[in-house]
């Protein structure tokens, strides 16, 4: 079962690393002290092991820490990049700017759909190949905060821990 796999990831030898990530995520801006590679790796590990509803919930909590302008920037980047991977990210009123992108719940719903349609794709879109050198938007602190936040919030859902 996926949750068993997740518990083994965050409860095993990497537990300290996840707890450390969560502490850094909570201090200051949600991207402070988190490397591109760490955000990508932790997201990739967690995203493969959680059910879609838990992923969407973790994404919404993560996106709530971003400002509305940062959410729009993240959403617009995803709208531009997703079609290259065969995934649509709708523009509600076809004006080139979906006003709903400011809403963390809507943005989480859309990223959850991307994750469900093609697992791991959000990390690929935001972080490029995931190899040693990151490309894409992951060089942006917003993308780093989104991926690290999803991993942190999902870990907290599984372990029952709270911010602090």
**Which residue has tokens 């917003």?**
142
pLDDT value for 76: 86
The dihedrals phi and psi of 62, each to the nearest 5 degrees, come to -65, -50
pLDDT value for 123: 86
Sign of CA dihedral 5, 123, 53, 13: positive
Helix extents (H) in the chain: 2-11, 15-26, 36-47, 52-64, 68-81, 104-117, 121-127, 141-159
Which DSSP letter does residue 14 get? T
- Angstrom distance (rounded) from CA 52 to CA 64: 18
pLDDT value for 36: 85
- Helix, strand or coil, per DSSP, at residue 89: coil
Per-residue pLDDT of the chain (164 residues; tens, 9 = 90+): 455 666 666 666 667 788 888 888 888 787 888 888 888 888 998 888 888 899 999 999 999 999 999 999 998 888 888 888 887 766 554 555 566 888 999 999 989 988 888 888 888 888 754 444 445 555 678 988 999 999 999 988 887 765 54
pLDDT value for 80: 83
pLDDT value for 134: 46
**Around Cβ 93, how many Cβ atoms within 10 Å?**
10
């Amino acid at each position: 079962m996926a949750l068993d796999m997740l518990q083994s990831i965050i409860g095993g030898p990497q537990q300290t690393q996840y707890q450390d990530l969560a502490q850094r995520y909570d201090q200051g801006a949600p991207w402070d002290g988190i490397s591109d590679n760490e955000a990508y790796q932790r997201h990739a590990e967690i995203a493969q092991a959680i059910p879609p509803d838990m992923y969407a919930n973790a994404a919404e909590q993560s996106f709530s820490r971003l400002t509305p302008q940062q959410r729009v920037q993240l959403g617009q980047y995803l709208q531009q990049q997703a079609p290259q991977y065969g995934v649509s990210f709708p523009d509600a009123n076809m004006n080139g700017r979906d006003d709903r992108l400011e809403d963390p719940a809507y943005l989480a719903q859309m990223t959850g759909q991307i994750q469900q349609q093609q697992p791991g794709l959000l990390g690929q879109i935001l972080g490029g190949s995931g190899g040693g050198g990151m490309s894409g938007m992951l060089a942006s602190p917003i993308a780093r905060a989104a991926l690290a936040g999803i991993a942190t919030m999902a870990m907290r859902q599984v372990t029952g821990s709270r911010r602090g």
